[in-house]
A and B are shown apart, each in its own frame.
Chain A
């Protein structure tokens, strides 16, 4: 591999890796507080992509209940992205209310939360299919305004092509990561969230309203999921209501890689898996989908606590 090729793969990798990172953070936030994996996260990802599409473009296809509908308004892309992600955040809150809270109040087996969240995911995805059909939706290239679609760097004979979308994705993710880091590390809300994650019973004794912070966590998780979905959707198009399933599963590989419940771990895991996929040689590109899962297995074998996770000693 030449240096130029390396640079191209590297740039592709950190762009998609940054999306994996913010998506996986949505899993991590919920896991660090509840110790449960929210299997509806992939569905929120899909929902976010469709919401942003609806707000930014608003032209529906030929299938589903919304067939041939054209929304009377449309927002500029940044505003649509923000609104779509915030609405996904509320969808996250709804997931908590429908799938997690009733079970928590009954003290049910955590395995059941897995099934109920899968149930919510199934409902979400199929309602989407009912509304918008199962065709491919893609964002028009002028959706970001009047900017060039790609930048080409010349290295003698060789070219490195960076799509503008990739730059947008990477910058948005970095800004969100910085804001999230600030929120969790340096604000009262963040302090309370960390306290709940450390020990919910103690936090509630200290006067923290645990249920409210669980809701905040699901809002953040949904926001990140919807944002990731929107960014992937604008880059590669929305390949039907089931397109979130594979990202949802890949996200699991990312959090295991990084260490379950570790926030820096999720970011690092996302980058590692994004880069690893980008460096798959083109003749094996059909196997790219399996790379993340191979990493998951390797993590289970070699370092089950993940790259940055703490290994726990079980106390009796």
Chain B
């Protein structure tokens, strides 16, 4: 057991962390919005945690709080991410269509340039020697695991609430939803902010895990990966992002023997999956399920 945890514990933590980031994109997707902002908020949350954990001016706070500084970091990261998401979300989400995707690409790039050049974020080197919450890396499952459970329960409850139904209405037809008295901008911004807060918290939790934090944490490449998790897993069910993240985040490990050709395979997976699995893996599975569970007479024409 000990050896297993040593070897696969970190992979497991990574999978849960990636699944959480995929879910952070799933929230805007619930309201039919394509956001690429998660890596930006993830990087931001990480920097907040890293700065609070290392800067001298926070030393007295750290001494006073002891280990409770960590939950405080998560809280600050969540707050800052939420406020920033409002600032980014409102102008982009007044508009319909591709604008949120474009606005969030711009957001991630602007943040990246800022992190790379500001003094407080350590420039190109970043911040290192971030104090650890646990001694063993696999122990981080003790914070990521419960967070994942809470988020899944939250989504499950949300889907059947008034807000969740509003998201769904906007996703199906924004104009019709607006005509029914739902304020599309309000709900779209709400979905975007929830996702941003989640990504910020995951970032704040990941900074101690990774020990160093730099501008490479939030890039366009990461945006593409998270998007692929959601769309390949299936963007219409909460299990989609989970499954997509688990499969695609494990893919580099599985493809390790291919070495340099690994990323080529990654790209091919994206192309093939978007053509042949338009509703993602979960969509394909549920279609398969309904095919076998319906009596053949009911299928008609046979």
Query: Of B106, B224, B264, B275, which one neighbours A127 at CB under 8 angstroms?
Result: B264
Contact between A290 and B114 (Cβ–Cβ < 8 Å)? Answer: yes
A253 within 8 A of B: yes
Contact of A147 with B by CB under 8 A: no
Most buried by B among A98, A99, A253, A293: A293
**A122:B102 contact, CB within 8 angstroms:** no
User: A296 near B102 (CB under 8 angstroms)?
Assistant: yes
Nearest-neighbor residue (CB-CB) of B113 within chain A: A290
CB distance from A98 to the nearest CB of B (A): 6
In chain A, positions 245-278 with a C-beta closer than 8 Å to chain B are 245-246, 249, 252-253, 256, 260
Selected contact of B109 from candidates A111, A118, A249, A316, CB within 8 Å: A249
Segment among A16-24, A48-56, A102-110, A195-203 that sits at the interface with chain B: A102-110
Quick one: given A122-B224, A130-B261, A290-B110, are A108 and B278 in contact (CB under 8 Å)? yes
Q: B275: which of A106, A114, A252, A304 is its contact (CB, 8 Å)?
A: A106
B124 nearest CB neighbor, chain A only: A286
Say yes or no: B263 contacts A126, CB within 8 Å: yes
CA A114 to CA B103, docked complex, whole Å: 15
Inter-chain contact B109/A289, CB cutoff 8 Å: yes
Contacts of B109 in A (CB 8 A): 246, 249, 289-290, 293
Contact B271 A249 (CB under 8 A): no
Q: In the complex, how many angstroms separate the beta carbon of A40 from the nearest chain B beta carbon?
A: 10
By secondary structure, the B interface counts as: helix
Q: How large is the interface on A (under 10, 10 to 19, 20 to 34, 35 or more residues)?
A: 35 or more
Interfacial residues of chain A within 276-316, with CB under 8 A of chain B in the complex: 286-287, 289-290, 293-294, 296-297, 300-301, 304, 314, 316
The residue from A109, A113, A304 contacting B95, defined by CB atoms under 8 A apart = A304
Measured between beta carbons, the chain B residues less than 8 angstroms from A111 are 34, 231
Please tell me if the beta carbons of B274 and A103 are within 8 angstroms of each other in the complex.
Answer: yes
Residues of B270-289 whose CB lies within 8 A of A? 270-271, 273-275, 278
Distance between Cα atoms of A111 and B25 in the complex (Å): 14
What total count of A-B pairs have CB within 8 Å?
A: 123
Taking a contact as CB atoms under 8 Å apart, the answer to whether A289 and B224 are in contact is no
Q: Which residue of B lies closest to A298 (CB)?
A: B91
Contact A115 to B106, CB < 8 A, known contacts A106-B275, A300-B91, A301-B91: no
Contact status B175-A316, CB under 8 Å: yes
Flag whether B125 is at the interface (Cβ < 8 A).
no
Please report which residues of chain B, range 220-272, place their CB below 8 angstroms from some CB of chain A when the two chains form the complex. Answer: 220-221, 224, 227-228, 231-232, 260-261, 263-264, 266-271
User: What separation, in Å, do the CA atoms of A287 and B220 have in the docked complex?
Assistant: 17
Q: Distance in Å from the Cβ of A292 to the closest Cβ of chain B?
A: 8
A235 interface residue per 8 A CB criterion: no
Complex: A265 Cα to B263 Cα, angstroms:
36
Secondary structure at the A interface, as helix, strand, loop or mixed, is helix
Question: With the chains together, A111 CA to B278 CA distance in Å?
Answer: 10
In the complex, A130 Cα to B231 Cα: how many Å?
27
User: B274–A122 contact, CB under 8 A?
Assistant: no
Indicate whether A183 reaches chain B with its CB closer than 8 angstroms.
Answer: no
Q: Are A122 and B270 in contact (CB under 8 A)?
A: yes
Q: How far is the CA of A272 from the CA of B263 in the complex (A)?
A: 36
Does the CB pair B102–A98 fall under 8 Å?
A: no
Q: Given that A112-B278, A122-B263 are known contacts, is A286 also in contact with B99, CB under 8 Å in the complex?
A: no
Question: Chain A residues near B260 (CB, 8 Å)?
Answer: 126, 129-130
Q: Is the CB of B274 within 8 A of A115?
A: yes
Question: Chain A contacts of B105 at CB under 8 A?
Answer: 249, 252, 293
Query: From residue A251, how far is it (CB to closest CB) to chain B in Å?
Result: 11
A294 vs B117: C-alpha distance when bound (angstroms): 16
Provide the bound-state CA to CA distance between A200 and B103, in Å.
28
Residues of B at the A interface (CB closer than 8 Å) are: 34, 91-92, 94-96, 98-99, 101-103, 105-107, 109-110, 113-114, 116-117, 175, 220-221, 224, 227-228, 231-232, 260-261, 263-264, 266-271, 273-275, 278
Known: A103-B274, A249-B105. 16 other contacts (CB 8 A): A99-B271, A112-B274, A116-B270, A116-B271, A119-B268, A120-B271, A126-B260, A126-B266, A130-B260, A130-B264, A256-B99, A286-B113, A287-B114, A293-B105, A296-B102, A297-B106
A-B contact pairs, 16 of them (CB 8 A): A98-B271, A99-B271, A114-B34, A115-B232, A116-B270, A116-B274, A118-B228, A119-B274, A120-B267, A126-B263, A126-B264, A129-B260, A129-B263, A293-B107, A297-B103, A314-B96
